[in-house]
């Protein structure tokens, strides 16, 4: 391939789609967890619900902008082709975005909702019928949204992984890698929002929950990336050649130093360092605001780089002899 058919807009979209999936999942989870019959993390649940729909909505707009003929994007909705990951993804993304907005609405504080509707002309009666309290259905929406958010998280990987002509993508590990990266990015975004929201003091319990969750997701991501590298290195020539792109080729530095180092291991180190005293020595968790800020920003940076590396390096890989390995 002489040029990149998919560029930065696709990278940003894949990142934002995953981010929303992660935000929704983490917030939904927080919504379900209870301590003594009381919601354990109401602030996280609300924050995530309010944030979740926006990245994916913005990302989808970018996706349409990237089309050669964007005025024809509606044709995506006139067809359903189960063999095409993009077709399935279109529907999945639409359903997820719609549900994320409904969920966001269900979490809207009463006064915000009233303020929103008071700005609309009173003659729009149909719209004013929508001014209802959906807070009783939050759990139902979250439950419907879990599989959709997981689906969107996986789909961003399947979109690439299903392309048999590109050995860099075409392994059964890319989908999971993107999913765990998405969940980790969403969790990190919540962490970032939590510490940046200066109006309310950061509760240690909220912080601990998010740090915990992120450690789990980053670890899962690592457990996918290592076999990806090992299996690829031991695979057939086409895959080996493809992997050379990050093992000596043009994307080596950005993969090892910036993504794996700064985007994954450093934040994991920070988060484990924060958690360790409370886990090993039974001390009370005392998270540092600045460390949480650094870790979450780095995780988001890493999540973006993962998409960047995969979109670009994947397009360079092919079954042709690439002149790197003989």
Partner 1 sequence: MDIRKRRYALVIDSRKCINCKACVVACKAENRVPIGDFRNWINEERQGEYPKLRIDFEPEQCHHCEHPSCVRVCPTGASWQRKDGIVLVYADDCIGCRYCMIACPYDARYFDEESSTVGKCTLCSHRVDKGGIPACVETCPSKVRVFGDLDDPTSRIHELLATRRYHVKEPQTGNGPQLYYLV
Interface contacts to partner 1, rule CB under 8 A: 1-2, 5-6, 66-70, 72-73, 75-76, 78-79, 81, 83-87, 90, 162-166, 238, 315, 318-320
The angle subtended at Cα 103 by Cα 64 and Cα 213, nearest 5°, is 90
Q: For the CB of residue 101, give the shortest distance to partner 1 in the complex, in Å.
A: 23
Q: From residue 274, give the alpha-carbon distance in Å to each of 23, 181, 211, 287, 312.
A: 22, 21, 8, 6, 35
Q: For the CB of residue 68, give the shortest distance to partner 1 in the complex, in Å.
A: 2
For residue 310, give the nearest of 6, 2, 3, 1 by alpha carbon. 6
6 vs 58, beta carbon nearer partner 1: 6
For residue 255, give the nearest of 300, 214, 313 by alpha carbon. 313
Name the token pair of 138.
């939050």
Q: For the CB of residue 9, give the shortest distance to partner 1 in the complex, in Å.
A: 11
Q: For the CB of residue 178, give the shortest distance to partner 1 in the complex, in Å.
A: 16
162 vs 300, beta carbon nearer partner 1: 162
Provide the H-helix boundaries in 170-203. 174-196
Q: For the CB of residue 311, give the shortest distance to partner 1 in the complex, in Å.
A: 10
HEC string of 196-248? HCCCCCCCHHHHHHHHHHHHHHHHHHHHHHHHHHHHHHCCCHHHHHHHHCCCC
Exposure string of 181-195, with b = 16+ CB inside 10 Å and e = fewer, is: bbbbbbbbbbbbbbb
9 vs 265, beta carbon nearer partner 1: 9
> 260: which DSSP letter?
I
70 vs 116, beta carbon nearer partner 1: 70
C-alpha span between 176 and 169 (Å, rounded): 12
Q: For the CB of residue 230, give the shortest distance to partner 1 in the complex, in Å.
A: 22
* Class of residue 312 by CB neighbours under 10 A (exposed 0-12, middle 13-18, buried 19+): buried
163 vs 229, beta carbon nearer partner 1: 163
Q: For the CB of residue 61, give the shortest distance to partner 1 in the complex, in Å.
A: 15
210 vs 238, beta carbon nearer partner 1: 238
Residues 6+ apart with CB under 8 A from 172: 161
87 vs 278, beta carbon nearer partner 1: 87
80 vs 256, beta carbon nearer partner 1: 80
Q: For the CB of residue 251, give the shortest distance to partner 1 in the complex, in Å.
A: 17
Exposure string of 118-129, with b = 16+ CB inside 10 Å and e = fewer, is: eeeeeeeeeeee
Provide φ and ψ at 54, rounded to 5°.
-70, -50
């Amino acid at each position: 391939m002489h040029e990149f058919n998919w560029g930065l807009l696709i990278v940003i979209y894949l990142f934002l789609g995953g981010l929303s999936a992660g935000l929704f999942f983490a917030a939904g989870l927080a919504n379900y967890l209870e301590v003594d019959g009381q919601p354990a993390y109401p602030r996280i649940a609300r924050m995530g619900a309010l944030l979740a729909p926006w990245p994916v909505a913005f990302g989808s707009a970018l996706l349409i902008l990237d089309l050669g003929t964007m005025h024809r994007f509606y044709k995506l909705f006139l067809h359903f082709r189960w063999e095409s990951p993009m077709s399935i993804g279109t529907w999945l993304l639409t359903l997820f975005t719609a549900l994320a907005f409904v969920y966001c609405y269900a979490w809207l504080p009463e006064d915000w909702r009233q303020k929103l509707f008071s700005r609309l002309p009173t003659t729009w009666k149909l719209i004013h019928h929508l001014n209802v309290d959906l807070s009783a259905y939050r759990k139902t929406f979250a439950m419907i949204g879990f599989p959709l958010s997981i689906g969107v998280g996986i789909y961003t990987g399947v979109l690439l992984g299903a392309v048999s002509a590109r050995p860099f993508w075409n392994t059964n590990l890319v989908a999971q890698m993107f999913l765990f990266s998405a969940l980790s990015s969403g969790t990190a975004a919540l962490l970032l929002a939590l510490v940046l929201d200066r109006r309310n003091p950061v509760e240690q319990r909220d912080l601990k929950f998010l740090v915990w969750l992120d450690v789990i997701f980053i670890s899962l991501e690592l457990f996918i990336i290592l076999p990806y590298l090992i299996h690829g290195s031991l695979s057939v020539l086409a895959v080996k050649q493809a992997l050379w792109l990050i093992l000596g080729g043009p994307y080596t530095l950005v993969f090892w130093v910036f993504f794996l180092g700064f985007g994954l291991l450093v934040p994991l180190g920070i988060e484990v360092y924060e958690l360790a005293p409370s886990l090993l020595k039974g001390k009370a968790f005392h998270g540092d605001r600045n460390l949480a800020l650094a870790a979450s920003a780095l995780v988001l940076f890493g999540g973006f780089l993962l998409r960047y590396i995969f979109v670009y390096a994947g397009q360079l890989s092919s079954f042709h002899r690439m002149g790197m390995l003989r």
